[in-house]
Structure 1
Amino acid sequence: MGKDHVNITTIGHVDHGKTTLSAAITKYLAGKGLAKFKDYGEIDRAPEERERKITINATHIPFETEDRTIETHDKKTIKILGRDYSLIDCPGHADYIKNMITGISQTDGAILVVAATDGVMKQTKEHLRLANRTGIKYLVVFINKVDAVEDPSIIKLVEMEIRDYLTKYGFNGEKTPIIEGSAKCALDEKNPEIGEKKIKELLNVIDEYIPNPIRDISKPFLMSIEDKFTKSGRGSVVTGRPERGVLKTNDKVEIVGLPQGKNVLPIIETKVKEIQSNHQKKDEIIPGDDIAVLLGIDSLEEITRGQVLAALGSIKPHTKFEATAYILTKEEGGRHTPFGGSERESKKTKSGKEYRPQFYFRTADVTGSISSPKNPQTGESVEMVMPGDTVDFIVELIAPLALENNDNFVVREGGKLVAEGKVTKIIK
């Protein structure tokens, strides 16, 4: 029987060392034959990433941990089973938040990286909020760059601050494991007390604290499309991570939402010709692994990121729905001003312009308008929606997306995360 598979992601503010930590993990495990070493340049693959030393796209890094035995406080021994992991190195830069949203939405747990030199920063908070909104329940914290801080009391203050924000954003601030170390020291093979030994400690904690996920295989297959490419002479390939269900070779499937090119229909029926995971052919696949699916579609023009690959008839495209959402405050990095709520002005901001922010679902981002906001407790219309309010409203998207009741979404405007919400009722 193979090892359990777990997907984890690094999250945190730009330049706090997420990619350096990912590289350090692979270097440590490569020495044990449990991973292939990937240096910083291999993880940050795009030229712009290397030039600016920031991560733009979420990068997937496979590794595994080994079985080990630990002794409890009452002298009993427990065997901890090693697991197969896919580590997603997420971008922290605000400009590339949609790629980071994709990374977070695909994971079972997270490593929050916080630089000891800075403490909690703007994107630290934003990533914690997104992690909570996308359903991540377990994370561990790595306080990085401790070699750059001379006063140990500073690190303790940073830890206290982190625990406060973990609690604020719905995590267990008291019990969440926090490891202090230096990813760069581990990568450069210097000062093992804060380098290599801390990477080992981090991996042990991940094995122990983040539980094995329960995969939903009872519902119809669903996967959000992350990327696409052509396999010469054979068809089109889509990649992503299955959200639920089982997919088999020769299954009939549909691509749903965001019609592209000459295709005006939001549903395309096709057939699964081949499935690959970790560069190996598979007859069937369940949620958890990154996969590539060869489809019987000749042209890539009809396929785009943000569509979903789904079992026949299992999910429909929609443009209009009722939702409930929390509007972030200025202090949380959200809006500074309210937007209008009367029936006549319901789609407009205070300045009179129609309020049309970006809505993010899975790997999709689509412009939509907000109308008819109401108080969720009383059902009464709201004249002005203020930052800090929780409000019900109607959303109308400019393009059809594959949607279901209870789907989570986030809203961004002008480079800011301004709201987080949930679909409560599909209208059309």
Structure 2
Amino acid sequence: MVVEDVFSLHQDRVVRATGRIERGRVRAADELEIVGSGDCSITRVTGIEACPPRSPLDEATAGMNAALLLPGTAGTVERGHVLAAPGSVAAHTAFVADIALLPEEQGGTELSTGDTLDFHIHAGAVRGTVTLPARLDALRPLHTAAVTVTLEHPVALENGRPFAFRHHGRAAGSGTVTRLLP
């Protein structure tokens, strides 16, 4: 599940993380790994609620919007993190992606190696640097390329993950992760 919102309950002893279950299922008492910036940690689900109307559930399955109650995770779970079965997803800071720039009238702008962009992956945003292929000096609006991206902090990633990016605060294009780098 990608964490879209985080609420602290009971004087910060329990966190209510909400989001959409992307695949599989989760039940109360299941262990989940918090994957995102920094160290990954394991937590146990103590309750599940439907979102909306906040009614209790025994389990949540793929496609459902749900809230998971996670004790002792205040300050650990943030928007954009991923809650997953332990070891099933890893956080990465570098990857290769196919990107496409928007037309100029929609915010597309020329990109060069070393440009810093805001990458919107899952429900979070992270800054990163783009490296164009050696044969390419600049990537112009409406063009595509396979680029290498280096993020400022780790993000849960898998091959095929779509993302959008902004340049100087304006929507600039989108892409898909094609290969994860160590």
The interval holding the TM-score normalised by the smaller chain is: over 0.9
Q: CA deviation at 1:332?
A: 2.8
Per-residue Cα deviation, 1:377-410 (whole angstroms, up to 9, x for no partner): xxx6212211121111100000100000010011
Alignment-mate amino acid for residue 407 of structure 1: R
Counterpart of 1:405 (choices 154, 159, 162) is: 159
- Distance in 1 between the 2:22 and 2:94 partners? 23
Q: Which residue of 2 aligns with 1:423?
A: 177
The equivalent of 1:256 in structure 2 is: 35
Instruction: Give 2:42's aligned residue.
Output: 269
Question: 2:5 is aligned with what amino acid?
Answer: D
What SS is found at the alignment partner of 2:63? coil
Q: Deviations over 1:326-370 (max 9, x none)?
A: 1112123321xx233xxxxx31xxxxxxx1010011101100000
Aligned to 2:78: 304
Deviations 1:209-265 (A, max 9, x none): xxxxxxxxxxxxxx1101112221652221111111111111010110123xxxxx1
| Counterpart secondary structure, 1:225 | strand
Residue 385 of structure 1 pairs with residue 164 of structure 2: no
Superposed counterparts of 1:163-174, under 5 Å: none
Residue type of the partner of 2:124?
A
Is the CA contact 1:366–1:398 (under 8 Å) kept in the aligned structure 2?
Answer: yes
Query: Which residue type is aligned with residue 324 of structure 1?
Result: D
- Please list, as runs of the form range in 1=range in 2, the aligned pairs for 1:105-116 lying within 5 A after superposition: none
Which protein has greater RCO, CA pairs closer than 8 Å, 6+ apart? 2
Alignment of 1:118-267 (within 5 A): 223-232=1-10, 235-259=14-38, 265=39, 267=40
**Is the contact made by 1:258 and 1:306 (CA closer than 8 Å) also made in structure 2?**
no
TM (norm. structure 1) is 0.40
CA distance in 2, matches of 1:333, 1:247: 40
- Percent sequence identity is 33
Q: Deviations over 1:133-181 (max 9, x none)?
A: xxxxxxxxxxxxxxxxxxxxxxxxxxxxxxxxxxxxxxxxxxxxxxxxx
Q: What root-mean-square deviation, in Å, do the aligned CA atoms of Structure 1 and Structure 2 show?
A: 1.5
Distance 2:62 2:48 in 1: 13
Alpha-carbon distance, 1:287 to partner: 2.3
Instruction: For 2:107 and 2:130, locate their aligned partners in 1 and report how far apart those are by CA, in whole Å.
Output: 20
Q: Secondary structure, in 3 states, of the residue corresponding to 1:270?
A: strand
**Alignment partner of 1:331: what SS?**
helix
Q: Distance in 1 between matches of 2:8 and 2:124?
A: 21
Alignment correspondent of 2:111: 339
Q: Distance in 1 between matches of 2:100 and 2:54?
A: 42
Deviations 1:43-70 (CA, angstroms, capped at 9, x unpaired) = xxxxxxxxxxxxxxxxxxxxxxxxxxxx
SS of residue in 2 equivalent to 1:304? coil
Q: How many correspondences in the alignment? A: 179
SS in 1 for 2:75: helix
Moved more, 229-238 or 392-401: 229-238
Deviation per CA, 1:247-301, whole angstroms, max 9, x where unpaired?
1111010110123xxxxx1x1101011101122111111123321111132x521
What displacement does 1:414 show?
2.5
Q: Displacement, 1:302? A: 1.4
Once residues 365 and 305 of structure 1 are traced to their aligned partners in structure 2, the CA distance between those partners, rounded to angstroms, is: 9
Q: Return the TM-score normalized by structure 2.
A: 0.92
Match of 1:368 among 113, 128, 133: 128
- 8 Å CA contact 1:307–1:402 kept in 2: the answer is yes
How far, CA to CA, are the matches of 2:174 and 2:17 in structure 1?
28
Secondary structure at the counterpart of residue 370 of structure 1: strand
Give the SS at the match of 1:312: coil
Q: For 1:339, give the aligned amino acid.
A: L
Selected match of 2:68 from 293, 297, 305: 293
